Structure 1
Amino acid sequence: MTADADEIVLSKQDLREVAAFAAACAEAVLGIFEADQPDDARPRDAIGAAWEFARGGERGKSLRDTASAALKAAKAADTAAAREAAWAAMSAAGAAYLHPLAKATQVKHILGAAAYAARAAELVAGDDPSVGAERLEHMVHHATPVVVDVLRRFPAAPSGGGRVGELIRMLDADLRSLAVTE
């Protein structure tokens, strides 16, 4: 059976690689949330669930539940940076649910955790965009060839989304150009 023209073929291994990339990005800023809310383990649990899936676990209730819990943790955060870090964790758990639809909006499942993490880092640095750009550059070098290949199956990231949307588009462009030159 062949896929429809509007459907992207994704293997479970593709989803695991995307989830691992997202978990690593979110984990890098987890301390920002934990400094704000030291007794709240919900974002850490979401990242843990993403890693579990990436390492061979099943895609199921734990990912959905921990992503939802991380979203609630974001709403309880006292600072914007902590909120963004919790959203990165939520996005990491949600990355396993990348839909095989040829829609630009799906790029957020691949790069959302990275963009929220970069935004959290910017905010901690006094809203310094150079910090976000530096974080994205680091992420480009840690994206596996599989993550880049999966990203390139989708249309480019859509417009909108404020600063996080801008960071997604920056990372999207950087990863796509990397794939062309390698």
Structure 2
Amino acid sequence: MVLTLPGRQYQLRRQKFIHSIGNSMSEEPTSLSWADIRTSRLLDSGISGGLSGGILNTWKRGRRGLVPGLTTGALMCTFLQLCFNELNILRIRHVSANPALPPQRTIHGSVDTGQGSFADPSTSAGMQMTQVESSTSHSPMDRILSMFGQRISDEKYLERLKIERDSYLHRIAELEEEKK
């Protein structure tokens, strides 16, 4: 059914389907834009969410629950699909920006270093090793915590706590003098 529908999203799915079955008369592949990825399957999710929400809300509340169920289901599913699409874009950007990924294997089983066929193997292997070592030196918990701020040493943290304590003690002394 998707093969007969108009629109950019369906055109991309049609090309993917034709390519997957190995049809030699396939169309010229088109490149995806960020907008194509952001809007991927939004209409499908909205329709299916609207139908599901309408059916469930009608079952729960009777005939008067059909329109609110349709609306709520469509909006929620469209929003969730949009969030999923944004996460997919973040994943693509992260993968494309991360140079420390291991080399990809080609169809023939040889390793593609991404540096051309005339690269010196000793320098490319050494460079890849240092990149992998530097990326694995941090634990996953350190990476998660780095999203919220920088990790500081215990001495710096203790110094901050002492400064904060002194400011509170000073404020307490001021309040006690005002009370007298």
- Band of TM-score, shorter chain: under 0.3
Rg bigger for which structure? Answer: 2
Higher relative contact order (CA 8 A, sep 6+): 1
**What TM-score do the two structures reach when normalised by structure 2?**
0.26
